[in-house]
């Protein structure tokens, strides 16, 4: 059995907004990052949203592993602030920087590595390969 929202209903826009802020969040972020995907090694949501501990005012923490300039990533994600009704906080670093920060046990990167993630570009296996790259460089 399938259900469909009645788009003509007066509360549809509000319900759609609630849906986008919760369930549809990853899809909206994926769509925004899609034009950059060829130049992104990995992108994922971390923090309270990925942990399932978000509140209605939680910001969206997004890690983007790429050589793209920060401004380009922000430009892709900025329009979502109003649409989602949440702050979007991207962290952008190159694959080499991410691996180096893992190697020197940077507290922030280690915490992000250990926390749950919602993958937007790439997979958990791709993330595991980054950790393996770090281990190979350390050897």
Model confidence, pTM: 0.81
CA–CA distance, 6 with 20 (Å, rounded to integer): 16
Q: What mean pLDDT comes out for the span 59-78?
A: 97
Residue span of the structural domain in which 86 resides: 25-138
CA distances from 80 to 19, 20, 25, 54, 136 (A): 14, 10, 10, 17, 38
pLDDT of residue 94: 97
Residue 7 belongs to some domain of the structure: no
Residue 17 belongs to some domain of the structure: no
Looking up residue 114, the CATH number of its domain turns out to be 3.30.460.10
Residue 71 belongs to some domain of the structure: yes
Taking only the tens place, the pLDDT of each residue in 93-122 is 999 999 999 999 999 999 999 999 999 999
Residue 13 belongs to some domain of the structure: no
Count helices and strands (H / E) in the chain. Answer: 8, 4
Taking only the tens place, the pLDDT of each residue in 74-100 is 999 999 988 888 899 999 999 999 999
The residues facing 61 across adjacent strands are 46, 89
* Total domain count, the chain: 1
Taking only the tens place, the pLDDT of each residue in 16-38 is 666 655 557 888 999 999 999 99
């Amino acid at each position: 059995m399938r259900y469909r929202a009645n788009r003509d209903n007066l509360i549809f826009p509000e319900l759609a907004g609630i849906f986008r802020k919760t369930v549809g969040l990853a899809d909206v972020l994926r769509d925004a990052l899609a034009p950059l995907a060829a130049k992104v090694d990995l992108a994922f949501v971390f923090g309270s949203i990925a942990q399932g501990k978000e509140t209605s005012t939680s910001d969206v923490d997004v890690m983007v592993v790429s050589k793209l300039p920060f401004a380009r990533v922000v430009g892709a994600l900025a329009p979502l602030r109003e649409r989602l009704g949440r702050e979007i906080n991207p962290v952008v670093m190159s694959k080499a920087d991410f691996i180096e920060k893992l190697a020197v046990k940077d507290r922030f990167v280690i915490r992000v590595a250990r926390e749950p993630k919602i993958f937007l570009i790439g997979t958990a296996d791709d993330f595991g390969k980054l950790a393996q790259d770090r281990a190979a460089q350390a050897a």
